[in-house]
Amino acid sequence: MSKPSGTNIALGVWTTLVFLFLFAPIIVIGIYSFNGGRLLTAWDGFSLEPFTAIVDRPSVRHAVAVSLQTAVVAALLASTLGTLAGMAMARFPGRWTGPFTLLLLLVSVTPEIVDGIALLPWFVTLGQDWSLLPFNNGYVRLVVGHSLFATAVVTYIVRARLIGLDASLEEASADLYAKPVATFFKVTIPLVGPAVLAGGLLAFTLSLDNTVISSFINVSGTTSWPVYVLSSVRSGLKPEIAAVSTILLVFTLLVLGLVAWVLKRSGSSVTDTMAAS
Amino acid sequence: MRDRAAKRLPGFVLAVPAWLWLTAFFVVPFLQIAWFSLGEKPGMFGSHSNAVMSLDRYAEAFSPTFFTIFRATLWMSVLGTIVCLVIALPAAYFMAMKVPAHRRGLLVALVMVPYWTSFLIRTIGWKVILSSEGVLAGFLTDVGLVADPHDLLNTRGAVLLGLIYNYLPLMILPMYVAFDRVDSALGEASKDLGAGRIRTFFQVTLPLARPGIIAGVILVFIPMMGDYVTPAVLGGAKGTMVGSLIASQFLTAQNWALGSAMAIVLILLTMLIVILAITLMWVVGWLVHRRSRLVVGTVPPPDPRLHNKEVATA
């Protein structure tokens, strides 16, 4: 291993500072969720009031509930679409893979603001001009908006997992006279299970955090939690926003820890899978 | 052969749902705004009309009022990307090359924690840190670095800080992966051949890690250009970016035609800069490569700056 030379010490100090920088605002939010003051930015003594305030404010609870419900449905949808697409890309590549990869790439790099402003008129066209009434529903709009990037993420993860696995297990199944459909359900699906779970949980956290698309396609009555927070940036941030965020942060970390654990147990590299997204 | 032909049909079918879904809710909506961008805003109460087709909305987007904001956004994103690069490079190098292998996974996980926590909440965290009531503003005013505690928030500087902060993990991760893949034997070989540590870093390690650096630059620059949350939280009226401009056309001005044209200009501008940056990095890499290529047969003229060292090792 390298000797502790001057350069290495300087690099180590620099890296430590970078980590402090990365965690500074998260730590601040954690501390300020115990702010007893009326406004979030002005500290006024330690208090548990922000946490008890959540219970008293139905609008906060409703926004969090909208977000959680949307995230579950969006994650299920993205996992289904992404798993099928990822398996197709890994096991049945052909002339279609190129254009499809391009589509996924475009979905991943397009700024969210463009998705948001494109979806808003599209939902109006579908829901009002063409009378497809579900698209006037706030939940449907949120689920559709959140499922796009998440589908691409799940596809990448499932594809990476399957490419890393030998196809010989599926070939063996075929050699043993299993029909392609039987092989698919009895061999391929169990093999991709961990990747699907990891991708689905990531889709869940992505949906939970989605601010930009949600704020454009928002329908009053189904305001999601990040949209509620963004609108209170203008009207005045209250300490209970930090309190809810701290709870959600702990929750997200637990979910991510679960992803890491599942991937580790299934033997694929956590770093590679998550970096791929 | 027969098996492969039988396999290809169901394989393609599996990707069809995702393909249809992304076409219906990503491609078609985008084509619709591309269509809107050629139209106009009809009167006070309409949002868009394509009765008269023209490129006038693009001319409007390039008019001085709006184009100053495009230029400011471009400037902030370029500067932000460069600062991210400078901050991330030593950290990623240290994590991949100096930290013992068994601790690297933990550090990578730590870099990812902020990235996977709510973007909006982290930005609000900076709002708390920079607010006029905060400890930092009080300290800086007492020391005399800042005249007024209100000078920190709602400025271009605050937005730039937020941009750098928010996208830094996206720079560190690909760079870390790139440095991690550089074979340490190549660095040792370079040292065995008499190159110093600095020369080894710039002529062996850095060129090998170039794909990761390019990936990081692209991953950071593109979302910075389209950011909407960071200027909305930290920028106030002074720190407006293109994202805020597009949003206001859709949410307040109700001018969908102009907002669509701005979104298309944003995408084209971002693509143009990315292509220019890749070309530039490719040319620089090619020049460096040409200068330091291995010449077999004739002895290359000695580099005067390295003369002493070469004599010493000989």
HEC assignment per residue over B52-88: CCCCHHHHHHCCHHHHHHHHHHHHHHHHHHHHHHHHH
* Domain total of chain A: 1
Query: For residue range B74-98, what is the model confidence (pLDDT) as tens digits?
Result: 999 999 999 999 999 999 999 998 8
Averaged pLDDT of chain A: 87
User: A59 to each of A36, A63, B188, how far by Cα in Å?
Assistant: 20, 6, 62
Interchain CB distance below 8 Å, B168 and A274: no
User: Which residues in chain B have Cβ-Cβ distances shorter than 8 Å to A130?
Assistant: none
Q: Is B2 a member of any domain?
A: no
Task: List residues bridging with A46 in a β-sheet.
Answer: A35
Question: Of the given ranges (A146-155, B195-204, B272-281), which has the lowest mean pLDDT?
Answer: B195-204
Q: Is B28 a member of any domain?
A: no
Domain region containing A231: 59-276
Q: How far is B305 from chain A (nearest CA, A)?
A: 22
> Closest partner residue to B95 among A15, A121, A202, by Cβ?
A15
Q: B5: buried, middle or exposed (CB in 10 Å: 19+, 13-18, 0-12)? A: exposed
Q: Is B44 a member of any domain?
A: no
Domain region containing B242: 53-291
Q: Is B3 a member of any domain?
A: no
A45: left (phi over 0), alpha (psi -120 to 50) or beta: left
Q: Is B312 a member of any domain?
A: no
Query: For residue range A227-237, what is the model confidence (pLDDT) as tens digits?
Result: 999 999 888 88
pLDDT at B126 over 90: yes
User: Which residues in chain B have Cβ-Cβ distances shorter than 8 Å to A144?
Assistant: 25
pLDDT for res A275: 46
Q: Is B31 a member of any domain?
A: no
* Domain total of chain B: 1
Q: Is A17 a member of any domain?
A: no
Q: Is A119 a member of any domain?
A: yes
Q: Is A11 a member of any domain?
A: no
> Closest partner residue to B12 among A88, A104, A245, by Cβ?
A88
Query: For residue range B200-236, what is the model confidence (pLDDT) as tens digits?
Result: 777 778 888 888 888 899 999 999 999 999 999 998 8
Provide the ipTM. Answer: 0.87
- Assign B236 to helix, strand or coil: coil
CATH of residue B66's domain is 1.10.3720.10
The DSSP call for residue B227 is -
CATH of residue A225's domain is 1.10.3720.10
Report yes or no: A82 and A276 within 8 Å, Cβ to Cβ: no
Query: For residue range B17-63, what is the model confidence (pLDDT) as tens digits?
Result: 999 999 999 999 999 999 999 988 887 777 788 888 888 899 988 88
> Closest partner residue to A25 among B88, B122, B263, by Cβ?
B122
pLDDT at A276 over 70: no
Cβ contacts of A214 within 8 Å, gap of 6 or more: A116, A142, A145, A146, A224, A226, A227
Q: Is B45 a member of any domain?
A: no
